[in-house]
Amino acid sequence: MSLIECVPNVSEGRRPGVIEALVAAVRQTAGVHLLDVSSDRAHNRSVITVAGDAAALKAAVLALFEAAMATIDLRTHTGEHPRLGAVDVVPFIPLEDVTMEACVALARETAAEVAARFQVPVYLYEEAATSPARKNLEDIRRGEFEGLAAKMAAAEWAPDYGPRVPHPRAGASVIGARMPLIAYNINLATDRLDVAKKIAAAVRHSSGGFRHVKAMGVALEDRRIVQVSINLTNYERTPMFRVFEAVRREAARYGVAVLESEIVGLVPAAALTATAEYFLQLASFTPDQVLEQRLRKVTR
Amino acid sequence: MSLIECVPNVSEGRRPGVIEALVAAVRQTAGVHLLDVSSDRAHNRSVITVAGDAAALKAAVLALFEAAMATIDLRTHTGEHPRLGAVDVVPFIPLEDVTMEACVALARETAAEVAARFQVPVYLYEEAATSPARKNLEDIRRGEFEGLAAKMAAAEWAPDYGPRVPHPRAGASVIGARMPLIAYNINLATDRLDVAKKIAAAVRHSSGGFRHVKAMGVALEDRRIVQVSINLTNYERTPMFRVFEAVRREAARYGVAVLESEIVGLVPAAALTATAEYFLQLASFTPDQVLEQRLRKVTR
């Protein structure tokens, strides 16, 4: 059976009753498995992680829109995290026995139905993007809800689906398909923020680093250390171990050691397996040698 | 559902028809999943890997004995690998939702029934052993089939179940419970066999090394390199990464580099995850963060 992950980001992270209603809409859809919910008060945003097949996920996203349209009003929404709409972003991610192309198709179908049913304009992003200028979420979201009406007036920001004006309360949504994202932080044994910032600049794509790395240097003030905070957007092409080793070497150049690293949320097993392969210098290893993988293959 | 692995080693690795009959006996048992079969002509031995619950595995082992009794005669068996009997060794290994104690109980029940039904003497080993002297397979098997009658005459080598004399054709069997074993080889960028032997001696338990490591140095003559060939008998207490790093450092002491390492057969995912945790210096990581693990938890 094909298995797809879906990680809707909704613009509500403060009212527990509303968050519960949004999660319930998703969870109550038949065939959908709830993996995680994480809400952030400062961001005023919740991230819901679910898995299922294409039909179940499409139904779940439509149910989520229905619940969000009834409870979220962007005109009064505040929070630190940039956002365009009530259901702000919906990525579909291939997990098992499914291609990226199938996830792109699912994103398009879902976007079309969201636009038709709720009169919400939808932009397609990442692998589902209809032009290179719309690949990056940050570019689509620049200006946020408050600047959306002006942005949409420009020809190049006509939505892929739905009306050419924002929905009054729900703004616009960004729906697409992408690889699993790994949120990965590397903490340094120093309080020198400039070092973390220089290392982040060295490894991230936007300033000359690895193709699938986004990174910034931040201070963890309560611990008096600094962190290179990283998003790995394609762990197959830019693997964890390579980024870790690069950060470690850059830090050494400033006389700083890596204190520890941390994975925030979920990580695909393949990313960890590849890391073990690298450091153990494993030759001719295949995922088929992982006991649990073999078991899943013969028991399902 | 509880899941146990069972890895019977049978004394036949040359006659394809016989091997196929032995494998068929196991595979045809309801509830048993065949994971792997590997036969070695030089060893004249086959290793069958299956998984299932306790009842299914017990039935499969009895079916395997029945097939082996009909086709294998130790009196004419030759091969490089030490062996005591037709079905030489049968370990039960806890995989999921099952304790080691349950595997020990399964080993005892199976041993009692094998002895009663086939008049084959059975020794319990590893976690199922009835005395420290019987924990190690090598100790039980010393003297092999050819020396078995003399060995069994001594009071301390009375079997745990069955007659006090070897079965004329099938010898004796060793049945027990143990942790998953990882067959792990580290190849060195040198042809100096003495270096591989010194490193093996440094890391193995029997000569002062790690508690759960068996190791020997061997030459891979066709490749003109040497290998530290390792069995990791408890990867939780003596993890792969620690053994790899120890071998690497010992090799460096002789000016030799690690060329590569290799896992032979299957490896539990946890052993690879722990390796990634170690090298990435992961803090506060839990197996629950592995996407596939979370998925299995919510979908079953």
ipTM: 0.79
- Does any domain span residue A300? no
Cα separation, B10 vs B46, in Å, equals: 5
Tokens 């809707």 belong to residue? A8
- Give the tens place of pLDDT for each residue, B92-107: 999 888 999 999 999 9
* A285: nearest CB among B180, B187, B263: B263
- Same domain? For B208 and B231 the reply is yes
Contacts of B146 (CB under 8 A, 6+ apart): none
- Same domain? For B190 and B166 the reply is no
- Same domain? For B34 and B165 the reply is yes
What's the rounded mean pLDDT across residues B272-276?
96
- Same domain? For A16 and A155 the reply is yes
Range of the domain at A238: 182-291
Residue B81 bears catalytic tag: yes
In B107-158, which ranges are E strands?
Answer: 122-126
Residue A297 has pLDDT above 90, yes or no: no
- Same domain? For B149 and B98 the reply is yes
Single-letter amino acid code for the residue at B263: I
Q: Which among A169, A198, A190, A187 has a CA at the least distance from the CA of A255?
A: A190
- Same domain? For B173 and B146 the reply is yes
Average pLDDT across chain A, whole number: 95
A71 φ, ψ to 5°?
-125, -20
Total number of residues shown for chain A:
300
Q: Which among A95, A55, A68, A75 has a CA at the least distance from the CA of A13?
A: A68
Picking from A138, A162, A177, the residue at the C-terminal end of a domain is A177
> Which CB contacts under 8 angstroms, 24+ apart, belong to B58-62?
B58/B106, B58/B109, B58/B110, B58/B113, B59/B29, B59/B30, B59/B32, B60/B6, B60/B25, B60/B26, B60/B29, B60/B32, B61/B6, B61/B8, B61/B26, B61/B87, B61/B90, B61/B110, B61/B114, B61/B175, B62/B110, B62/B113, B62/B114, B62/B117
Q: Does the distance separating the beta carbons of B298 and A34 come in below 8 Å?
A: yes
Using 50, 70 and 90 to split pLDDT, how confident is the model at B187?
A: very high
Active-site residue, selected from the candidate residues A33, A77, A81, A205: A81
Judge whether A260 is closer than 8 Å to chain B, CB to CB.
yes
- Does any domain span residue A299? no
Cα separation, B297 vs B300, in Å, equals: 6
> Domain count of chain A?
2
Single-letter amino acid code for the residue at B203: V
Judge whether B257 is closer than 8 Å to chain A, CB to CB.
no
Handedness of CA A92, A94, A98, A100 (dihedral sign): positive
Judge whether A298 is closer than 8 Å to chain B, CB to CB.
yes
Greatest alpha-carbon pair distance for chain B in Å reads 57
CATH at A124: 3.30.990.10
Q: How far is CA B286 from CA A39, A267, B95, B237, in A?
A: 20, 11, 18, 17
- Does any domain span residue A39? yes
- Give the tens place of pLDDT for each residue, A180-191: 999 999 999 999
Residue A205 has pLDDT above 70, yes or no: yes
